[in-house]
Amino acid sequence: MAEEPLVLTKREGKSFKDIVMEKLPDGGNLNACLTCGTCAAGCPATGLEGMDPRKVVRMAALGMDEELKKTPWAWMCSMCGRCVHACPMNVNIPQLVYNMRASWPREQRPRGILRSCDAALSTDCGSAMAARPEDFEFIVNDVAEAIREQPGFETLEAPIDKKGAYFCLNQNSREPVTEPDELGPLWKILHIVGADWTYPSKGWGGENYCMFLADDEAWKHLTKLALDQAVELGCKVFLNTE
Q: Give the rounded percent of residues in the chain with a pLDDT score beyond 70.
A: 95
Q: Are residues 218 and 153 in the same domain?
A: yes
| pTM of structure | 0.84
Is it the case that residue 7 has pLDDT exceeding 60? no
CA dihedral 130, 135, 141, 146 (to 10 degrees): -80
Residue range 77-96: average pLDDT?
Answer: 91
Residue range 203-209: average pLDDT?
Answer: 94
Residue range 65-86: average pLDDT?
Answer: 92
CB 45 within 8 A of CB 73: yes
Q: Is 168 helix (H, G, I), strand (E, B) or coil?
A: strand
Q: Are residues 180 and 233 in the same domain?
A: yes
Is it the case that residue 2 has pLDDT exceeding 60? no
Distances (CA, A) of 188 to 150, 155, 182, 194, 216: 11, 11, 11, 10, 36
Q: Are residues 122 and 203 in the same domain?
A: yes
Residue range 86-107: average pLDDT?
Answer: 91
- What is the domain count for the chain? 2
Residue ranges of E strands in 79-189? 167-169
Q: What is the pLDDT of residue 18?
A: 84
Q: Give the rounded percent of residues in the chain with a pLDDT score beyond 90.
A: 75
Give the residue, 205 or 9, on which the prediction is more confident. Answer: 205
Q: What is the pLDDT of residue 61?
A: 86
Q: Residue 96 is part of which domain span?
A: 16-104
Q: Are residues 96 and 118 in the same domain?
A: no
Q: Are residues 148 and 231 in the same domain?
A: yes
Q: What is the pLDDT of residue 9?
A: 53
Asked which of 82, 104, 126 is the last residue of a domain, the reply is 104
- Cα separation, 154 vs 92, in Å, equals 50
184 within a domain of the structure (yes/no): yes
CB 208 within 8 A of CB 138: no
Q: What is the pLDDT of residue 5?
A: 62
Asked which of 70, 104, 138 is the last residue of a domain, the reply is 104
Q: Are residues 85 and 123 in the same domain?
A: no
Q: Are residues 135 and 96 in the same domain?
A: no
Asked which of 38, 72, 104 is the last residue of a domain, the reply is 104
Q: Are residues 93 and 141 in the same domain?
A: no
Q: Are residues 35 and 122 in the same domain?
A: no
Q: Are residues 122 and 231 in the same domain?
A: yes
CB 197 within 8 A of CB 186: no
User: What is the residue-averaged pLDDT of the chain?
Assistant: 91
